[in-house]
Amino acid sequence: MKLVVDENILLAEQVFSLFGEVKLVNGREISPEILSDADILITRSVTKVDESLLKSSPVKFVGSATIGTDHLDLEYLKSRNIRFANAPGCNSFSVAEYVFAALLELADKYNFKLKDKSLGVVGAGNIGGKVIRFADALGMKILKNDPPLERAGIGSGYSSLNEILSCDIITLHVPLNKGGKDNTVHLIGEKELSALTENSILINASRGPVVDNSALRGILPKKNLKTVLDVWENEPVPDKELAKKVNIATPHIAGYSYDGKLNGTKMVFEALNNFLSANYIFPFQNNSEKKILNCSRYSDAEDVLRCAFRQAYKILDDDKNFRNIFRNEKEIGKKFDELRKNYHKRKEFCNFAVIVNEKSSELIKALKAFRLTIPEQ
């Protein structure tokens, strides 16, 4: 059995070689020729999987180690009886932690407390739900918008998008739906950007086209908005002028924690195992000893969390590295992909314990929500 696997999938060769011969390929270079004798395709979101890619191949299983499916023609896969699996929720904590790493840096720079702000969450699924969990633990006022979940009767207390736009902070966690009643392409366009309040914060860690990048670039010089973008239209060549205007800019790595990537690999491995009626055991575990973070100087929950993030995940380093890709206009796309391929081993908060002096109920609640423990004395 031959498997073509995106070379950027964590532990790809070690894991999937259990099933057969593995050929590692750059995800952007997977072609019909490469798949001409492949039985299995394991990929990520950078590969467009559709009829033009698969029509001449014997591929019978497609796995995507990602939460999204907008890069996949699911109807075509179904018509060819090609089994499909992705990894919903695999990196949801990673993205939620990214959001609060960014917010805590902005709160420090502009001297405000998150607990005094309202948060509008667009998309309340795996990721949005965890963002809501974190925000609730910090005492933020929360509005959520998710028409598909609302129609399905899952959860309650939903707000309209217009209501969300009045919040101090708006964060986007929706799939990329091209058309239909739940269209999310340019969900935040010129009209929505104009409706945002002065000094509000807009975060996009979902898909680049959810925000109209051209409209955002045009409005930022005119309106006092703070922006955090991890995803961009036209990746891997983002808008240079927009990037200059964004407060925190990163190369689509919000979900790139080691834990999230390992979860994605494992979920696709298990789906393939099931498809082939195999009985292989996933060969890797993530059971490392917790690293200690010393935040004993602080007692306020937000200050403790900021202290913890600055030791566990330095988001401003990601911002700095991203901005360096624009030094050579001809290599922007190459450098964007290299940042993702060579991304550092970022561990989620469940891998850390934090030393604090005061243990107020508010602090304990926040630490628990963020999956931080306090080491035993």
Here the CATH number for the domain that contains residue 264 is 3.40.50.720
Residues of the domain holding 70 = 2-86+258-275
pLDDT digits (tens, 9 = 90+) for 239-288: 999 999 999 999 999 999 999 999 999 999 999 999 999 999 999 987 77
Same domain membership, residue 101 and residue 168? yes
Same domain membership, residue 318 and residue 364? yes
Same domain membership, residue 82 and residue 106? no
- Whole-angstrom distance, CA of residue 337 vs CA of residue 16: 23
pLDDT at position 48 over 70: yes
Q: Read out DSSP for 179-222? A: SSTT--TTSB-HHHHHHSPTT-EEEE-S-GGGB-HHHHHHHTTT
Same domain membership, residue 105 and residue 201? yes
Same domain membership, residue 202 and residue 98? yes
Same domain membership, residue 153 and residue 81? no
Domain membership flag for residue 281: no
- The DSSP bridge pattern shows strands 61-64 and 226-229 to be unpaired
Domain membership flag for residue 202: yes
pLDDT digits (tens, 9 = 90+) for 104-155: 999 999 999 999 999 999 999 999 999 999 999 999 999 999 999 999 999 9
Domain membership flag for residue 285: no
Domain membership flag for residue 156: yes
Same domain membership, residue 225 and residue 150? yes
Domain membership flag for residue 128: yes
Domain membership flag for residue 377: no
Domain membership flag for residue 21: yes
What is the pTM assigned to this prediction? 0.95
| Residues marked as catalytic | 207, 235, 252
Q: Among 181, 215, 249, identify where a domain stops.
A: 249
CATH of the domain at 314: 3.30.1370.170
Same domain membership, residue 76 and residue 124? no
Residue that the structure tokens 């055991």 belong to:
281
State the total domains in the chain.
Answer: 3
Same domain membership, residue 205 and residue 180? yes
pLDDT digits (tens, 9 = 90+) for 194-245: 999 999 999 999 999 999 999 999 999 999 999 999 999 999 999 999 999 9
Largest CA distance in the chain: 64
